[in-house]
Amino acid sequence: MTIILSLVVIGVLVFFHELGHFLAAKASGMLVQEFALGMGPTIFSITRGETKYALRMLPVGGFLRVVGEENEDGKELIPESRRYDKKPVWMRMAFVAGGPIFNFVLAALIFAVMFVFIGVPSTQPIIGSVSPSWPAAEAGLKTGDRIDSIAGVPVKSWSDLQQVVSKNSDQPLLFVVNREGAEHVITIIPKIDETSNRAMIGVSPHNVRYNVFRSLFLGAKEMVWFTGEIISVLTGMLTGRTPAEGAGPIGMVVMVGQVARTGIVNLLSFAAIISIQLGLFNLLPIPALDGSKLVFLTLEGLRGKPIDPERENMVHFIGFVLLMALLIIITFKDLQRLNIF
């Protein structure tokens, strides 16, 4: 199940990335010969119109084959209006940037879906769920109860509730509870949670859901916030302030499995964050990545003429080889962490 979930998560992220390239290519009139998920030998393919859609054996990426993007044979037979290399610089930049942009769009959409269907924890001291066998359940606290005060201390927010409870382990506390307009007084004795080493009573806040339009706004806002946080971490790694860390395909499978066991909410959040990371990573000016292609296109726009295609392709090829070598090293480190090597 962990492997299946990992393939689904990675597959969706790669699909949206390539979909961004695909839609930009179609919008500018480029001839897309193949839309592929995965690398290596083809497992399944189907041709619709002028494009072949393929599923390949190795689930480690995907690609789009567009006429004129590389020095392929036979591109001269294709009308110039359909070739990548004959399009204006701004169209080619839109095509290259389309993939990373769609990774950010996907992250925003995942957050928006969560706001619509799952919601976010409310700051109000209203009980959303009560865990069985915990003090709150044993004392009779119910979903929907609003906590007005604890031990005489007014409770205005969920944070207030947490603070009062965490300071009073193994001590009886009088909870003044508003239940459907009626006031109830309940005695609860918090106990220490072994995982967090904090006093708890076993309750969770209720979730607040939003309409579609509000959720789309909040999803975009959440995506922007996480993007800023990730950029801050990456900057720290590049400057040496924080240790450089990373995971390959095997490490990703392990992390997806670990996160999935904590619930669908965390899995969706994890997928959104990985989508943002994928978008940012592809925008780095590293040969073979979209960021490097954007650099070459920027130089072409400034010079008024393209960089020699053979030299550019050689730079991207070298970058691809180095990325594959880095992937092998990261995968080996993943295996070491799992005590396989």
**pLDDT value at 1 more than 60:** yes
Identify whether the C-beta of residue 37 lies closer than 8 Å to the C-beta of residue 19: no
Q: What is the DSSP string of 218-229?
A: HHHHHHHHHHHH
What is the structure's pLDDT at 246?
Answer: 62
CATH of segment(s) 127-208: 2.30.42.10
pLDDT in tens, 278-300: 999 899 888 888 999 999 999 99
| Per-domain residue ranges of the chain | 2-118+260-337, 127-208
pLDDT in tens, 116-168: 998 888 889 999 999 998 999 999 999 999 999 998 889 999 999 999 998 88
Per-residue pLDDT band for 314 (boundaries 50, 70, 90) equals confident
**pLDDT value at 243 more than 70:** no
Read off the pLDDT of each residue in 70-86 and give the average, rounded to a whole number: 79
Q: For the packed helices 2-27 and 249-260, what is the interaxial angle rounded to 10 degrees?
A: 110
Per-residue pLDDT band for 203 (boundaries 50, 70, 90) equals very high
Q: How many CB atoms lie within 10 A of CB 283?
A: 20
What is the structure's pLDDT at 340?
Answer: 57
Q: Check 18, 69, 222, 312 and give the catalytic one.
A: 18
What is the structure's pLDDT at 130?
Answer: 92
Nearby residues of 23 by Cβ (< 8 Å), 6 or more positions away: 98, 102
Per DSSP, which regions of the chain are E strands?
A: 32-48, 51-66, 120-121, 127-130, 146-150, 153-154, 173-179, 182-188, 191-193, 198-200, 203-205, 207-208
Identify whether the C-beta of residue 176 lies closer than 8 Å to the C-beta of residue 168: no
**pLDDT value at 59 more than 80:** no
What is the structure's pLDDT at 69?
Answer: 82
Calpha distance 268→60 (Å, rounded): 20
Calpha distance 185→145 (Å, rounded): 12
Calpha distance 124→206 (Å, rounded): 8
Calpha distance 205→113 (Å, rounded): 19
Calpha distance 319→323 (Å, rounded): 6
Burial class (CB in 10 A: 0-12, 13-18, 19+), 157: middle
Output the CA torsion sign for 61, 62, 63, 64.
Answer: negative
Per-residue pLDDT band for 247 (boundaries 50, 70, 90) equals low
Calpha distance 120→265 (Å, rounded): 10
User: Residue 102 corresponds to which tokens in the numbers above?
Assistant: 């769609």
Whether 80 is catalytic is: no
Q: Which of 244-248, 287-291, 314-318 has the lowest mean pLDDT?
A: 244-248
Calpha distance 253→246 (Å, rounded): 13
Which strand (E) or helix (H) includes residue 123? none
The reply to whether the predicted model has a pTM over 0.75 is yes
Calpha distance 275→16 (Å, rounded): 9
Q: ∠ CA 272-275-277 to the nearest 5 degrees?
A: 115
Identify whether the C-beta of residue 191 lies closer than 8 Å to the C-beta of residue 200: yes
Q: Which of 86, 101, 102 is nearest to 28 (CA)?
A: 86
Q: Which of 205, 204, 201 is nearest to 139 (CA)?
A: 201
The residue with greater pLDDT, 3 or 174, is 174
